[in-house]
Structure 1
Amino acid sequence: MNTWHGHLKKLNIGLYEFGMVTLAIMACLLRIAFIALHYPTTNSDEGVMGLMARHIAYHGQWPIFFYGQGYMGSIEAYIGALLFHIMGSSSLFTLRLGLIFIFALFLLTMYFLTRQLYNRSLALFTTLLLSLGSFDITSHQLKAFGGGPEMLFLIGIIFLIANKLVFTAPVQNSEITRKERWQRWMLYAILGLAVGVGIWSDLLIIPFIAPVGLLLLIFCRHEVFSKAGLWAVLGILIGIAPVIYYNLTLSNTDQSTLGAMIEIQSSTATQMAQQHLTKSTQLSGTLFISIPTITGFNPLCSKISFPEFENHNSASLHCVVEHGGWTLGYSLLWISAILISAFIIWRIWNSLRQSRYQQKSNRHLPYTEQFLLKLHSARLCLLISAALTIFVYINNPASAIEPTANARYLLNLLIVTPALLWPLWNGFNEIHIPVTIQRTKKPLFILRVILLCFILFVYANGTIGMVKDISFSQKAYQKQHELIHNLLQIGATHVYTEYWTCYRIAFESNEKIDCVSLTSSLHIASHRENRYPPYTTNLKKASDFVYVFPISSPQAQTMAQKLKLINKKYYTKYTFDDYFVYRLNFRLN
């Protein structure tokens, strides 16, 4: 017993770590219950990822990116394929199970990152908070459409390793043993690998990589420009090898990673101009909608409740106050955390400058001050990463076009959670507070506790809201399977439809139904909506012409207009719940 206790103590594992493991297990069990009850509702993006996993598992395919595009790696598909073999089932539940494993790793990483930069108590509270969350946070942890959970985990690993390298950096290589030097080289290699895989997974990781690189350049400069740096470069090259291979073997440069980025920027900018959206719309969308959405605020108001969107007269004052207040609070916490660390760094450097001036010597910082300098520099890097992420998003047309759905581009802000909580937790105790302000210490403590409880309540309320929404998701799941059953009953195995129906029914039907996506004018859509070319080939060869559209879709309205000019004997119309299904004797267009 004493030996076991000794091992735990040596590994620095105590009650807080057991608490973290308990919270992580409970959070994972809750999410397993969600996906077992078909929550959240799936969509075609997730259907594409499911098809990729199935094609990897059973058809010997090796996709590098999400089908139909030259970016966003297929990590989730490969994990799904492995689980398909292990579980013996290629269901949506099995696909999502892999995301829960990644989520567990994310919680573990966040705990140790918070413990590394702050303390155990905040690490445990952060784990509790991230175990909860609103629909808009949790859905990105449970829906397999690429880039989300694995990116959060990789960013956490990158910061953990970089901080360890900085905190333990030797003044000269001669001060460490051969074994320690190899250990540090391996850490640089793993760091590089995490960076490379992160870039392959999603380019949204870059605003977090840049500050980490700067941190290493400042405190580990002699290592970065030595063999250790080469190990890091090797790791990066291995991590981004799929990206390099994809771009080198392309026959059409328009589908390259760079070409895809340019195409997205161009198309969204065009869409923004067509909708007469402005820079102020981007700012409003980010501050009033996207940041509250992705940082857990709930319940949320619709887009038209805010200035700059839709009908300006429909702006709701309480929505502007609530959402704006949440973002204001987020901003104040960020500014407070920045000021705390910046003040301590300034105080250390000022002390060093004065001692050098007085003693006229190149005095080195004592170990304690060196560590504090590194610690607060690392905290600043975390906070700067959040600012860079928001800056990039504000300047992206996506923040104006659909700020609620596109809030997913800010998902990485969850990494900064402990840094923002620190001013409320214990942050101001790190700086010397004047006696006049100390008199208000107790009221400020009470205020901090109230604010922390409020944040916890908001996240818990989001989780409760999801539980209430399960019945809606189950109804949607039932309707989807009834649609698939009805289509198979009438022999409709090759269908023309719209994107958000296409790959969803293809995956859920085990590809008994394949499809082609049509535009609102009933023309074949681009490769961004027809992501799997073999389906298009199959439909061109098909002798049966079946069109499946949601009743309220633009495609259904266009079809109704076209059918007015066609004799009824040339087509058969079915109504399956929320869908119109048309079987024609000929192919349109």
Structure 2
Amino acid sequence: MNNHQKLWIWTLVLALVVLGVMLRVRVSADLPLDADESIAGLMARNIAYEGEAPLFLYGESYVGSAMQFVVAGMFRLFGFHPQFIRWPEYLWSGLFLLLGFLIARRTDSTESGLWTLLLLALPPIFLSIINLKSWGDYNETFCLGGLLWLLSLKLCDEDHGSLKNLFPLFVWGLAFGLGFWIHFPILIYAIPSGLWLLWYGFRSLFPWRWGILLLGFLIGWAPALYYNLTNGWANLGYAAKGGWDYLTRLEMSGKMLIRMVEQGMPFLLGVQDDSARFIEFDQFDPMFAKVAIVGGVLFALGLHLYRNEGL
């Protein structure tokens, strides 16, 4: 692939990412701030103007406050306004789309990457809302988890013994540590991608190179580590019990199984979408049609170039 062909592909990728973010921004305009977002915004305001430095969300010792510090910085730079609460989520959404393309391209082909990017750019309403809500955990977990997989695939596809792989290893640990502070479900990504890395890179990375990964993790998880050391490991204790301190382990397992069946399976099977209650449009917005048409044209052009010019 020559430089001209690469330019075409990356122009298409950038255009689809921008269109996907624009669509989410439009949806955001009709999506009111909920209670959780308001609390996150209040935290950011207190960080910016009251000198507070909370390590976890108010009343939620399992959600790290990393994004609230980012929003606080925006308040200091641009002034206090509720719209800034969601601005970081737009950036995370764009990164989420880009990571989807990169992972699909590395595991299969550029064409698969473009199809993946198109599907993520025009998502179902539930994923759109999750990408927009400034809860400080979902978007960040998606992106950091995607980064873990991308780095694992990269490290396993290349020369394991090369010194240039030390930096990706460090970033892998840093992303895991940061994600583990922000929200425990990062384990959904870290465990399989870590096992993949361990399986394919055990001989070349063991033992001292794993220290680089551990160093990155400790740096990323440092705020939560400090909190746990000074608060009797309250954060990890909450994770172990899932917030149900009054239940035995057997009762807790049964409760989680029931919740998975009642809430998770309908979404997986596509027979229920409670997210629709979050948003209503008074009238048809032509921007959705414009985004779909422009995105479709760009995608068709990129696919034509891929198939006929060997991209």
Measured against the shorter chain, the TM-score band is 0.7 to 0.9
Structure 1 residue 120 corresponds to structure 2 residue 110? yes
Name the structure 1 match of 2:280: 469
Q: Which amino acid aligns with 1:44?
A: A
- Alpha-carbon distance, 1:470 to partner: 3.3
Coordinate RMSD, CA, aligned: 3.0
Larger gyration radius, structure 1 or structure 2:
1
Q: Check 1:232–1:281 CA distance in 2 against 1; reply closer, same or farther (3 A cut).
A: closer
Q: Which runs of 5+ in 2 are unaligned?
A: 284-311
Aligned-pair CA distance for 1:259: 2.8
The residue number in structure 2 matching 1:210 is 191
Aligned-pair distance for 1:65? 1.0
2:236 alignment partner, one of 258, 267, 272: 258
- Residue among 59, 62, 65 paired with 1:74: 65
Alignment-derived partner of residue 24 in structure 2? 31
Q: Counterpart in 2 of 1:285?
A: 262
Query: Of 150, 156, 159, which aligns to 1:166?
Result: 156
Cα deviation code 1:384-405 (max 9, x no counterpart): xxxxxxxxxxxxxxxxxxxx68
Name the CA distance, whole Å, in 1 between partners of 2:264 and 2:145. Answer: 24
TM-score (norm 1): 0.44
**Contact 1:76–1:99 at 8 Å: present in 2 too?**
no
CA displacement 1:279-324 (0-9 Å, x = unmatched): 88446425642424xxxx47x36xxxxxxxxxxxxxxxxxxxxxxx
Say if 1:73 and 1:202, in contact at 8 Å, map to a contact too: yes
The residue correspondences of 1:44-443 to structure 2 (distance < 5 A) are 44-88=35-79, 90-170=80-160, 173=161, 180-181=162-163, 183-250=164-231, 253=232, 256-262=234-240, 264-266=242-244, 281-282=258-259, 284-286=261-263, 288-292=265-269, 297=270, 300=272
Q: Give, in whole Å, the separation in 1 of the partners of 2:265 and 2:200.
A: 38
- Percent of pairs with identical residues: 26
Rounded to whole Å, the distance in 2 between the matches of 1:19 and 1:191 is 28
Counterpart for residue 42 of structure 1 = 33
Q: C-alpha separation between the residues in 2 aligned to 1:225 and 1:102?
A: 33
Instruction: Please tell me whether the aligned partners of residues 109 and 153 of structure 1 are also in contact (alpha carbons under 8 angstroms).
Output: yes
Tell me the amino acid that sits aligned with residue 23 of structure 2: L
What is the one-letter code of the residue matched to 1:47?
A: S
Counterpart selection for 2:9 from 2, 11, 16: 16
AA matched with 1:159: W
Cα deviation digits, residues 427-472 of structure 1 (max 9, x gap): xxxxxxxxxxxxxxxxxxxxxxxxxxxxxxxxxxx8xx99x81349
Q: Which has the higher helix share?
A: 2
Matched residues in 1 for 2:235 and 2:264: separation?
30
The 2-side partners of 1:45 and 1:279 are apart by 22
For CA contacts below 8 A with separation 6 or more, give which structure has more relative contact order: 2
Q: How many Å separate the matches in 1 of 2:257 and 2:143?
A: 33
Q: Deviations over 1:364-412 (max 9, x none)?
A: xxxxxxxxxxxxxxxxxxxxxxxxxxxxxxxxxxxxxxxx68xxxxxxx
Q: Give the total of aligned pairs.
A: 280
Question: Normalising by structure 2, what TM-score?
Answer: 0.80
Cα distance change of structure 1 residues 53 and 282 upon mapping to structure 2, 3 Å threshold: closer
Cα displacement (A) at 1:91? 2.3
Give, in angstroms, the shift of residue 267 of structure 1.
Answer: 5.4
Q: Does the residue aligned with 2:60 lie in a helix, a strand or coil?
A: coil
> For the structure 1 residues 223 and 70, does the alpha-carbon distance in structure 2 shift closer, same or farther, using more than 3 Å as the test?
farther
Q: Which amino acid aligns with 1:260?
A: Y
The answer as to whether partners of 1:216 and 1:224 remain within 8 angstroms in 2 is no
Q: How does 1:442-521 map to 2 (within 5 A)?
A: 469-471=280-282
Report how far residue 28 of structure 1 moved.
Answer: 1.3
Return closer, same or farther for 1:31/1:73 CA change in 2, 3 Å cut-off. same
Deviation at residue 189 of structure 1 after TM alignment: 0.6
**Whole-Å separation in 2 of the counterparts to 1:283 and 1:148:** 18
How far the C-alpha of 1:121 sits from its partner, in A, is 1.5
Counterparts of 1:20 and 1:225, CA distance in 2: 37
1:247-266 deviation digits (Å, cap 9, x = unpaired): 1122xx4x711332355442
Structure 1: stretches of 5+ with no match in the other structure: 174-179, 302-403, 406-461, 473-589
